[in-house]
Amino acid sequence: MPLSRSAVTIGSFDGVHLGHQQIIRRLTDYAKAHNLQSVVITFEPQPREFLTPDKAPARLSSLTDKAMRLQAMGVDQLVVLPFNSRLRALSADAFVREILVDRLNTQWLQVGDDFRFGADRIGNVDFLRQYDFEVTDLPSLCVEGERVSSTLIRNCIASADFAHAETLLGDRFQLSGRVIYGRQLGRTIGVPTANMLLPHKKLPTSGVFAISADLAGKTVSGVANLGPKPTVGDPRFWLESHFFDFEGQLYGQRITVALHKRLRGIETFDNLDALKSQIQQDIQAAKAWFANLGK
């Protein structure tokens, strides 16, 4: 049985930036006005992560983050299609008939003006207009003369221009995850950390940052190490956050951390004493940055 009659949009929606938000608002407004279900179709992994994993772009948001943002914007249904060999080989016509028509009962479809889909990417807006649902294309959003895109935001973050990234995202660049037990090394050196093992295989930045998070009902600032931990031989991507003036229990909780200022890159230290000394310098640098904020 297909879903109720649907208004649909398709895309990666990485970061759910201002351009994506414009698409989603138009989708939900149309769906409410015409008594339709609002449906977003996305892919996991993202197509380029499957097709060319070594050249795939860094992630701005995890699937969980994306789903939470879309739900908060009022989307009724998120359909996550596994991008695999079968989906890659599916013809444009088969994609429309199997997914848009049979599964989703699409009445209205909104895509970007450069949208391509199906085997060999032969499907486009003109191709879609042969079917029995309304198709509308939406040009990219421009802010101050710039086309808002996930690529542009990745470049901003990679160059530590978090203010520009915030303008394009409509919010600070944030990372979310569940706090888990790490090696608890921070506690042994007097700097307890909330450790999140990130699902991303590639991120647009790494290093040590001044951060903030909403914890126990208040905004708390801190400092965090984002990336691998070469000093202890761990290549995985972690976000290790030390919060100032906070003593609560965070294990098992899902928290969202905003990155404000990149303080330095990832370094390897010869011994624990050298690491401890640098961490204290990082803490002082982050506190100084927050103290000067707005001055």
Distance (Å, whole) CA 25 – CA 16: 12
Looking at residue 1, what is its pLDDT?
A: 46
**Domain spans, the chain:** 6-150, 173-292
| pLDDT, tens only, 217-266 | 899 999 999 998 777 777 888 999 999 988 888 999 999 999 999 999 98
Does pTM top 0.75 for this prediction?
A: yes
Report residue 51 as tokens. 């097709």
Count, residues in the chain: 295
DSSP letter at 57 equals: P
Each residue of 135-161: pLDDT tens digit?
999 888 999 889 999 999 999 999 999
Q: How far apart are CA 11 and CA 151, in angstroms?
A: 14
Q: Which residues contact 246 (CB under 8 A, 6 or more apart)?
A: 215, 216, 220, 222
Which pLDDT belongs to residue 268?
A: 84
Average pLDDT of span 15-42? 97
Record: fold of 6-150: Rossmann fold (3.40.50)
- 184, pLDDT greater than 70: no
Strands 194-197, 174-178: pairing kind = unpaired
CATH code of the region 173-292: 2.40.30.30
Residues 52, 176: Cα–Cα separation, whole Å: 26
